[in-house]
Chains A and B, each alone.
Chain A
Amino acid sequence: MAGEASVAVERDADIVTARQKGRELAAMTGFSSTDQTMIALAISEIARNIIAYAQRGTVTLCQLQDGGRRGVQIIARDEGPGIPDIELAMRDGYSTGKSLGVGLPGAKRVMDEFELISSPGRGTTITMRKWLR
């Protein structure tokens, strides 16, 4: 895998860094500028989730190659309190008050694959992928 980057997310300015790195990687992979913007937006939302609920974590970005397919993968990992009810967190408009409640379901909508693993007390890992077509 060619491009890979990891961004420590601890302050709100790190959200900007994470999404800019994501845009660069998406551009390098060959995504259109519209797709680059959607990938950057999805990264912004999951990185903000880290700051809002876990205070700190990391966003790791890499390129994917699967047979003839190319894409990008973004993993957001934290060791925060975890999400007690994932189904509820993924519902449009649901928020515990720290956000608009569109972040996670919105990010899922603009990516091709979205996986959320979380357990109370053990943190949250979100893996999302988008493939070039």
Chain B
Amino acid sequence: MAVPVLKQGDLLIASIQAALSDADLVELRDALADRVGRFRSRGVIVDVTALDVLDSFATRTLRSIAYTTKLRGASTVVVGIQPDVAFAMVQLGLGLDGIATALDLEDGIAYIASVTERGGRRGG
């Protein structure tokens, strides 16, 4: 598995370390969908701080991760999109509409805490 997924309480943290191929991204999506069930996770954080490019495939896969985990009863937040990456995405016409994002891991954890509190156990 190219991306280590840490389990911390009822959170899953996917910490992307280096540039990912399309196959790596799909593997991450499938692994997260599986682990949300296995660990009864309520939140998934995908940390993309290390990525220097988010292209159309990466954007689509992040959306797919967020929707899949939502259908599995967990919330996803994408954290750490770098300024240059964000700017290039906007220029190209790529976005993460409807997907929660946060500045960094800390804010991501706070976001998941706030939505799971509000929605109740496995709610929302």
Residues of chain A whose beta carbon lies under 8 Å from any beta carbon of chain B:
11-13, 15-16, 19-20, 23, 33-34, 36-38, 40-42, 44-45, 48, 92, 99-100, 102-103, 105-107, 109-110
Q: List 21 A-B contacts (CB under 8 A).
A: A13-B23, A15-B22, A20-B19, A23-B52, A34-B84, A34-B87, A36-B84, A37-B52, A37-B87, A40-B88, A41-B54, A41-B55, A44-B53, A44-B57, A45-B92, A99-B57, A100-B56, A106-B56, A106-B91, A106-B92, A106-B94
Interface of B is mostly: helix
Residues of chain B whose beta carbon lies under 8 Å from any beta carbon of chain A:
19-23, 52-57, 59-60, 83-85, 87-89, 91-94
Does the CB pair B84–A33 fall under 8 Å? yes
Does the CB pair B93–A13 fall under 8 Å? no
Known contacts A100-B59, A100-B60; A16 and B19 CB within 8 A of each other: yes
The contact of A16 among B21, B59, B84, B87, by CB within 8 Å, is: B21
Does the CB pair A34–B88 fall under 8 Å? yes
How far is B87's CA from A16's CA once the two chains are assembled, in angstroms? 19
Does the CB pair A92–B93 fall under 8 Å? yes
Known contacts A15-B21, A38-B88; A48 and B93 CB within 8 A of each other: no
Which residue of A16, A92, A110 has the most chain B CB atoms within 10 A of its CB atom? A16
Does the CB pair B22–A12 fall under 8 Å? yes
Chain A residues contacting B54 (CB-CB under 8 Å) are 41
Chain A residues contacting B59 (CB-CB under 8 Å) are 100
